[in-house]
């Protein structure tokens, strides 16, 4: 399929893979150290999207439970260690997403862009979608900034030798929307992710889809 869009980049959490229960379990391991109740799925959904450090800070704010920076570092280590050891206990690709991605593998370059730690991103993608021929899989590390900074797309431009306007971003959050807008990229937001549909609908001009079939049609329409 020849067209303007040469590459398709997918957000990981909430777009390709339902990771929320494993993330909530990791947060719960840290909260337990403070004598707090386990993190709920709803709480976890409300704080994810800008990296696990910011997510844990947000969760402690929701619980109205301030801690010192030293203690926060300890809690983050507990949470992250737990998540490293249990990254795919409950996580699984959303129904239909692997087939959708594979439908574009012969015509487009494929990538995963996540604000999750890079090593965790690689592991989750490898274990759950490792047979997909990804051109680039990138999480967060010190080499590149996280979304919505346009610099997050630098490794994709370099490896794929493409311009940003030749890429399409598929995501599920305001962060993905802001990332694409800042990079002058097309973006499609899925409503089955971690953010309420009404929050996505409040974004000016946001293109939102409610099913994998709608997503497929929207992707073809942009070619």
Count the alpha carbons within 13 Å of 29 in the hemisphere toward its beta carbon. Answer: 18
pLDDT of residue 76: 97
Burial class of residue 89, CB neighbours in 10 A (0-12, 13-18, 19+): exposed
pTM: 0.92
- Check residue 50 and give its pLDDT: 77
Question: How would you write the pLDDT of the chain (223 residues) with one tens digit per residue?
Answer: 457 899 999 999 999 999 999 999 999 999 999 999 999 999 999 998 777 899 999 999 999 999 999 999 999 999 999 999 999 999 999 999 999 999 999 999 999 999 999 999 999 999 999 999 999 999 998 899 999 999 999 999 999 999 999 999 999 999 999 999 999 999 999 999 999 999 999 999 999 999 999 999 999 998 7
Q: Are 177 and 203 spatial neighbours (Cβ–Cβ below 8 Å)? A: yes
Residue 168: phi and psi, rounded to 5, are -120, 135
pLDDT of residue 1: 43
Residue-range domains of the chain with CATH: 7-18+91-221 (3.40.50.1000), 20-85 (1.10.150)
């Amino acid at each position: 399929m020849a067209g303007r869009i040469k590459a398709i980049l997918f957000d990981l959490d909430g777009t390709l893979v339902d990771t929320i229960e494993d993330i909530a379990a990791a947060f719960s391991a840290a909260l337990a150290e403070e004598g707090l109740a386990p993190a709920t799925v709803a709480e976890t959904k409300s704080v994810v999207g800008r990296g696990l450090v910011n997510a844990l800070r947000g969760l402690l704010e929701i619980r109205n439970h301030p801690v010192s920076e030293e203690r926060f570092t300890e809690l983050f280590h507990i949470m992250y260690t737990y998540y490293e050891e249990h990254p795919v206990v409950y996580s699984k690709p959303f129904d239909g997403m692997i087939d959708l991605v594979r439908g574009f593998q012969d015509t487009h370059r494929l990538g995963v862009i996540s604000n999750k730690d890079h090593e965790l991103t690689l592991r989750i993608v490898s274990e759950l979608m490792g047979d997909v021929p990804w051109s680039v899989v990138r999480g967060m590390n010190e080499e590149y900034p996280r979304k919505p900074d346009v610099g997050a797309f630098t490794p994709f431009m370099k490896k794929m030798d493409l311009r940003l306007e030749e890429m399409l971003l598929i995501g599920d959050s305001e962060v993905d929307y802001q990332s694409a807008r800042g990079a002058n990229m097309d973006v499609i937001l899925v409503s089955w992710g971690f953010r309420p549909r009404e929050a996505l609908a409040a974004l000016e001009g946001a293109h939102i889809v409610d099913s994998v079939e709608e997503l497929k049609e929207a992707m073809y329409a942009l070619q």
